[in-house]
Each structure stands twice: as C-alpha cells, then as structure tokens.
Amino acid sequence: MATYSINHPSKGEINYTDKKRYLWLMSMLWPLMPLGAIYLFTQTGIQAVLAIPLALSYIVVPLLDWLVGEDTNNPPEELVPQLEEDRYYRILTYLTVPMHFIVLFAFAWLVGTYDLSVISILVVALVAGSYSGIGINTAHELGHKNTTLEKWLAKIVLAVPAYGHFSAEHNRGHHILVSTPEDPASSRLGESLYAFAVREISGTFVRGWQLENERLAKEGKSFLSIHNEILQSYAMSALFQGSLVAYFGWILVPFLIMHNFWAWSQLTLANYIEHYGLLREKKPNGNYERCKPHHSWNANYIVSNIVLFHLERHSDHHAYPARRYQSLRNFENIPELPNGYFGMYMLSYVPWLWFKVMDKRVLALPHIQGDLSKVNICPRKRDKLLIKYQQ
C-alpha cells in the first residue's frame, strides 16, 4: 500500500495511507457486473437471472451500506497534493470508460441474438440503463478535471447513455446555481421524484444547449460546428448506437430507447437526493452566497462510495469541485443521508415515505432549525408545507 508523507515545519512528520486504495478498483469493475448475469443466462437459459444486477444494486448494496457502515476519515490536507498526483487513481477512471461500452455491446448482443420475452427485454434495458447511468458518474469525475484527456474521456463515455449535454450543463449550470430555486437540477422540499424528473430532464437539456451556445458565441464559433462539445458527444452516440442497430437489427431500437431513458433517470435520481430542500442564502446584491458543504447531502457509506468514485461525499465536491475523488473530505454538522445512494433511490420512488424520512431531516439541520425561510420549497406546495411545518 502506498504511503504519503511530508516533514511539516510545525507539525513534524505527517504520514497517510489510503486504506481504500485497492477497494477503488470496484468503481472500475462495478460497471462490468452485469456480464456475470449474461453468462449465467447463456449457461442456464433461465431469463430471470438477468435481473440479478438490479437486485445487487438496489437490495444488496443498501444492506451492505447498513452493515459495513461509514468511513469518516479524511486524508491530511498537507498530503492532498501528493495524493492527487498519484496517477493510479486517475488511471482507474480512464480504464472505466471502455467498461461502459463493453457492457452495452454485450447487452445489445444478448437482445439481438437470443429470443427473449418482452418482459426480459424490459428487464435487460433497465439493467443496462442502470449501469450506463453509472457512466454519467464516470463522466462526472472526469469532466471536472482540467486536462484535455479527461475532458475528452468524459465526452466519450457520455456517448454510451447518449447524454452528451451533461458536462456543459453540470459544470457551467448546476454548479453555479446549485441549491437555489433557479436550478432545475436541485430538488425542493415537498417535490416528488416524479415532478422533479419532469422539471430536471427538460430543464437541464435546454440549459446545457444554451450554455454551449453562449460559450461558442464568445469564442466567435458557430453553434453548428465541430467545436460544439455537445454535438461531439452526440455524434459518438449516433455512431455507437447506430452501429449496434445496424449489426444486431431493429429489435435494438426499442431496447436502446428504454436503455437511454433509464440511464438518464439515474442522474435524475442522484440530483434529486443530493440537494433536496437545501437553499443558499441570497445576498442583498442579488447574488447567492458561495456554495458550502451544508448545501449538499453527504453520505460516507463505504460500499456505495467505493463503487461510485466517492460521489457520495457530495458536500466537499460542490464546495471544492476540482478535488479528485480520492481526496474528498467529510465535514462535521452537514446534511447526512440515512443510507447510500442506492438505498435512497429506492426510498425516493415512494414519495410519501421519502417526505416522511427526509422532510424532518431538512428542518432539523443546524443551519435551518425549523426556519422554512432557509429551505428551498416547492412553490405549488408552499402554503400547505408552511401550515404543516410552521411552529
């Protein structure tokens, strides 16, 4: 295991060993998990085994998060530069990119080659979409970095779920307006997942294109040109998915439509749980305060973090978006989710249960303490919520 050290002038020798160093391999290998189910099916002919990856994600991982627990340790800040310069961690993100292509190709082969029932094709589309949705997380980690290689890899992996507008929208839109009423990717108190999905999917799509158009206009370049980064990614999507249809047949069209939609929904789920009800203060000059750790929901659960490149330490990510996944920190007295992302996804599917669990957590936060003026509230439900929660 690699150990990082420094002889600090006032603190003396500081050492740090990342005990999760090799566990991060799971973030690279997790997208390949469905290949095991495909292999089982080819050996047994039992179509039900194709649903195993869904059970692993939405039943096994939440249980393991609960059983294994949390890791709240932080790397010493003095050693973060060394930790971030260790190429091992970024190579893992590079190697994850082809994994997403391999899995979608494998599922396309399965659908195009075997005589599956309609229900099995739907299940396979959901499984493939769930794991391609994780590809958006891979692009998330890569797209925040200031290297040409990583930015290109982000565009390439976004071609798998055909979500090429993500980087432009997320980096230049969501991160600017996060936890404000103006952000379509920040959910509001009292807003169900389904109402949020309608607002988020359409709103982020439009905003992504607008932001890219603005960027190109400032550079004096045409919107319809090879310089358009969204079009670059979508062109790769058309080439990849179009090739799958051409090779395996038209049965791939409904499969890919369902796959793409479900992959997009994984980002919607993440956005829904990451900032629910949280609100940045608006200053007298009309600007919002700087995004701080308490403006995002955090989770330190070991298992789901090691398969998502530490995405769940979201508080530090939004406060300091350039930090690499291995050096993201935990903070005291910040919003904490009661389970990892996969467990919270399941909870969000049932709005009344989500509200029962999460609304009281929002209002009990140290910086809110029941003050609804400090909460991002769903406008349609404002009056009802004020009556329900106002003391």
**What's the whole-number average pLDDT of the chain?**
95
Please state the separation of Cα 197 from the chain's center in Å.
15
Q: What is the pLDDT of residues 290-337, one digit of tens each?
A: 999 999 999 999 999 999 999 999 999 999 999 999 999 999 999 999
Overall average pLDDT of the 11-36 stretch: 93
Residue 189 near residue 362 (C-beta atoms within 8 A): yes
Sequence-ordered list of residues with C-beta below 8 angstroms from that of 345, at least 6 positions apart, any chain: 58, 269, 273
Q: What is the pLDDT of residues 242-257, one digit of tens each?
A: 999 999 999 999 999 9
This prediction's pTM: 0.94
Asked whether the CA dihedral 244, 262, 61, 117 is positive or negative, the reply is negative
Q: What is the pLDDT of residues 178-199, one digit of tens each?
A: 999 999 999 999 999 999 999 9
Q: Report the pLDDT value the prediction gives residue 291, as an integer from 0 to 100.
A: 96
Q: Report the pLDDT value the prediction gives residue 286, as an integer from 0 to 100.
A: 86
Rounded Cα distance, 203 and 300, in Å:
30
Domain boundaries, the chain: 20-389
Residue 235 has which token pair?
């062109």
- pLDDT tier at 13, thresholds 50, 70, 90: confident
List alpha helices for the chain, DSSP H. Answer: 25-29, 34-44, 52-55, 61-68, 80-85, 87-113, 118-143, 148-157, 166-169, 175-177, 193-218, 229-248, 252-274, 302-306, 314-319, 341-348, 351-363, 382-389
Task: Compute how many other C-beta atoms are within 10 angstroms of the C-beta atom of residue 195.
Answer: 16
Residue 306 near residue 230 (C-beta atoms within 8 A): no
Separation in Å, CA 306 to CA 222, 260, 309: 41, 25, 6
Is the pLDDT at 44 greater than 70? The verdict is yes
Residue 308 has which token pair?
């998502």
Rounded Cα distance, 72 and 64, in Å:
17
Q: With helix as H, strand as E and coil as C, how does 364-377 read?
A: CCCCCCCCHHHECE
Is the pLDDT at 1 greater than 70? The verdict is no
- pLDDT tier at 42, thresholds 50, 70, 90: very high
Q: Report the pLDDT value the prediction gives residue 11, as an integer from 0 to 100.
A: 84
Q: What is the pLDDT of residues 75-104, one digit of tens each?
A: 999 999 999 999 999 999 999 999 999 999
Q: Report the pLDDT value the prediction gives residue 391, as an integer from 0 to 100.
A: 53
Task: Compute how many other C-beta atoms are within 10 angstroms of the C-beta atom of residue 389.
Answer: 17
Please state the separation of Cα 147 from the chain's center in Å.
21
Q: Report the pLDDT value the prediction gives residue 9, as an integer from 0 to 100.
A: 84
Overall average pLDDT of the 128-149 stretch: 96
